[in-house]
C-alpha cells in the first residue's frame, strides 16, 4: 500500500459513508501498547509512554514521532520477534491502559499501518492494482470511531477481539464501495482459520503525538522471572506497580526462544484481563 501524495484527496468511504450513522453498543475498550522489556524499563523512569526519543528517525510511515496503541489487542510485533534470544530485555512487555480520560488521538486506522505499507496483507493492499491508498482508510481521530467500527464490522467486542467479521458483511455493501471492500479483504485475512492469520490486519490502531501518562495504566504483562528480579531497576518498577494497584500478569518466559513464541500466551492473558474488567464476556 502507498500513501496519497495529497491526503486532502483521500476517499474515506468506510469512515464517511458506512460508519457515520452507526450507534455503538460495546463498552469502551482498553488501549494496549506492546514494547520490549528493555524499552519498558526506560518508560518507568519517565512515568510516560512517549514517542521514541532514542531514535533519530520519525515513524517511517507518517514521518512523525508517534506513540502507537491497539484497541484491546496485543497485536504489535517486535522487529526481532522471530529471533531466538537469552536476553529477557528483548522480550515483550504489555501496557494495558484504561480507556477513560485518555487524550484525543492524533489518528485512527482500522489496521496496523506499518504492516500495510510493508505489504504484509498481500494483494489486498496493492495500490497499483486497486488504486486505494493508505489515507483512504483513516477514521475519525477519536475513540468513539473505534467503537463504531467494531459495531459495524464485527458486531461485538468479543468478535472483534477474535478477529471474526460479521457473517456475510461483504454482501451487504454495494460493489461501488471499492475502498471499504479493500478493508474487508484485509480484515478477513486475520480471521480464525485463515492460512496466514495476523492479528494486525483487523486490530484498530490508535496513534498519539502526546506523552501518555502511566496514571492510566490498569495492567501489565511481563516475563514471570522478573517477579524475583534483584536489580534495582526491576524492584523499583515492581514497587511502583504495586503501590498503584496495577494488575500484574506473567507469561512463562524461557531463554533461547523467540519473542513471537509467547504471542498466544500474551493474547490469552490480555483477554483474561478484559474479562475481569467487564469489557469482554467470559
Cα gap 274→264, rounded to integer Å: 15
pLDDT score for 198: 82
The string of pLDDT tens digits covering residues 157-180 is 999 999 999 999 999 999 999 999
Please compute, for residue 84, the number of CA atoms within 13 A of its CA located in the half-sphere on the CB side: 4
CA–CA distance, 26 with 41 (Å, rounded to integer): 33
Could you tell me the pLDDT band of residue 55, with boundaries at 50, 70 and 90?
A: very low
Helical residues (DSSP H) of the chain, grouped into ranges: 13, 37-46, 113-117, 127-130, 143-149, 157-162, 178-188, 232-243, 263-276
Mean pLDDT value of segment 144-164: 97
pLDDT at 180: 94
Specify the pLDDT at position 56: 41
Q: Return the SS3 of 119.
A: coil
Please give the pLDDT value at position 37: 95
Model confidence pLDDT, tens digit, residues 65-116: 899 999 999 999 888 899 999 999 999 999 999 988 788 999 999 999 988 8
**C-beta of residue 71 within 8 angstroms of C-beta of residue 105:** no
Instruction: Please give the average per-residue pLDDT across 12-17, as a whole number.
Output: 94
Provide the residue ranges of all domains of the chain, joining segments of one domain with +: 7-276
If one counts every other C-beta atom within 10 angstroms of the C-beta of residue 175, the result is 7
Full-model pTM: 0.93
58 has pLDDT over 70: no
- Structure-model confidence comparison of residues 221 and 197, the more confident one: 221
How much of the chain, in percent, has pLDDT values that exceed 70?
95
Amino acid at each position: 500500500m502507498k500513501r496519497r501524495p495529497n491526503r486532502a484527496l483521500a476517499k474515506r468511504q468506510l469512515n464517511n459513508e458506512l460508519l457515520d450513522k452507526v450507534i455503538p453498543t460495546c463498552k469502551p475498550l482498553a488501549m494496549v501498547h506492546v514494547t520490549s522489556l528493555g524499552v519498558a524499563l526506560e518508560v518507568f523512569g519517565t512515568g510516560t509512554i512517549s514517542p521514541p526519543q532514542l531514535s533519530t528517525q520519525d515513524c517511517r510511515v507518517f514521518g512523525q514521532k508517534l506513540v502507537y496503541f491497539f484497541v484491546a489487542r496485543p497485536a504489535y510485533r517486535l522487529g526481532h520477534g522471530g529471533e531466538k534470544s537469552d536476553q529477557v530485555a528483548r522480550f515483550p512487555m504489555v501496557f494495558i491502559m484504561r480507556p477513560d480520560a485518555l487524550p484525543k488521538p492524533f489518528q485512527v486506522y482500522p489496521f496496523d499501518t506499518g504492516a500495510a505499507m510493508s505489504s504484509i496483507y498481500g494483494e489486498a493492499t496493492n495500490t497499483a492494482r486497486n488504486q486505494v491508498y493508505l489515507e483512504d482508510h483513516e477514521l475519525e481521530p477519536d475513540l468513539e470511531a473505534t467503537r463504531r467500527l467494531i459495531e459495524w464490522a464485527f458486531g461485538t467486542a468479543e468478535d472483534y477481539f477474535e478477529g471474526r467479521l460479521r457473517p456475510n458483511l461483504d454482501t451487504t455493501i454495494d460493489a461501488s464501495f471499492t475502498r471499504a471492500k479493500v478493508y474487508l479483504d484485509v480484515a478477513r485475512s486475520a480471521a480464525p482459520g485463515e492460512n496466514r492469520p495476523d492479528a494486525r490486519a483487523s486490530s484498530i490502531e490508535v496513534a498519539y503525538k502526546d506523552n501518555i501518562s502511566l496514571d492510566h495504566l490498569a495492567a501489565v504483562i511481563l516475563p514471570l522471572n522478573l517477579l524475583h528480579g534483584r536489580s534495582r531497576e526491576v524492584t523499583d518498577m515492581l514497587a511502583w506497580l504495586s503501590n498503584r494497584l496495577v494488575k500484574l500478569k506473567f507469561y512463562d518466559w524461557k531463554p533461547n526462544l523467540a519473542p513471537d513464541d509467547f504471542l498466544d500466551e500474551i493474547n490469552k492473558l490480555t483477554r483474561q484481563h478484559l474479562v475481569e474488567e467487564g469489557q469482554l464476556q467470559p
